Amino acid sequence: MDPIEQFRSERAATVDGYGRDGEFQALSDQWREASMAKRYVYNFDWLGRPIIQYPQDIVAMQELIWSTRPDLVIETGIAHGGSLILSASLLAMLDMCDAIEAGVSLDPSQSKRKVIGIDIDIRAHNRAAIESHPMASRIQMFQGSAIDPEIVAQVREASAGYKRVMVCLDSMHTHAHVLAELKAYAPLVTPGCYCVVFDTLVEDLPAGFFEDRPWDVGDNPKTAVHSYLQSHPEFEIDTSVHNKLMVTVAPDGFLKRL
């Protein structure tokens, strides 16, 4: 066997074992709960903008974007813009690698790839920071509820013509809202690409953990994912992603379109 293939095969077997390792999972869940209580995910930036994610999930996004090579990433939830900048920079790296492989020059301010961000409230200081960032030419933002039919229609229009589409859902985390987002945006995901539903971990934390939020155990992104999948066999949970990460905000949230 080719050495690289052997390495990947051994790694896949290791990751598969994590999924059956109850002790390792319990330790990971304990650390995740403690870290959420201490606001650990608020500690990181991506290219200068706060990104409210675990480093593991940031790495996962890099791996998924590299392996699926989307030309459009749609994200609900913007906050400080770190996730938009992450996606835009990863698409820029795809552009650069494509240019190197083709032996052509690249204008870094131009790209056929794009990130669309949607948020019900894009605060002025965040918008200004995103629009002045070097990755801004790759980003288009829409302000409004992600499930507002008018916003959905605008995003669908802006998405026309893209051949490989990835979706990331990270706004309001109630069951009803996430299910509505899945119905609106998951159909845009192209075969072989992913719809990533963040904060499915709410279902796995103690009831009342987010005491000042409308979501809770039984009413959260994970319950919405499992409800959506009941009638959408074109998607499946890629368990290898969360098994590999062990600490993630998105257990059962990495949905691959078949």
Evaluate if residue 233 carries a pLDDT over 90: yes
Kindly report the CATH number assigned to the domain that includes residue 93: 3.40.50.150
Mean pLDDT in residue range 213-233: 98
> pLDDT (tens digit, 9 = 90+) per residue, 132-191?
999 999 999 999 999 999 999 999 999 999 999 999 999 999 999 999 999 999 999 999
In the block, tokens 């998405």 appear at 159
Q: Would you say the pTM of this structure is higher than 0.85? A: yes
Residue with tokens 């290219």: 47
In this predicted model, what pLDDT tens digit does every residue of 197-222 receive, in sequence order? 999 999 999 999 999 999 999 999 99
As a whole number, the mean pLDDT across the chain is 97
- Using 50, 70 and 90 to split pLDDT, how confident is the model at 87? very high
* Residue 1: pLDDT band with limits 50, 70, 90: confident
What the block records as the tokens of 113 is: 């790839």
| HEC string for 156-205 | HHHHCCCCCEEEEECCCCCHHHHHHHHHHHHHHCCCCCEEEECCHHHHHC
CA-closest candidate to residue 18, choices 7, 6, 29: 29
Q: How far apart are CA 222 and CA 203, in angstroms?
A: 6
Give the tens place of pLDDT for each residue, 114-146.
999 999 999 999 999 999 999 999 999 999 999
CB within 8 Å of 256: residues ≥ 6 apart: 192, 193, 194, 235, 236, 237, 238
pLDDT tens-digit map of 28-65 = 999 999 999 999 999 999 999 999 999 999 999 999 99
Mean pLDDT lowest among 103-107, 108-112, 122-126: 108-112
Q: How many CB atoms lie within 10 A of CB 86?
A: 25
Q: Which domain holds residue 114?
A: 3-257
Structural domains counted in the chain: 1
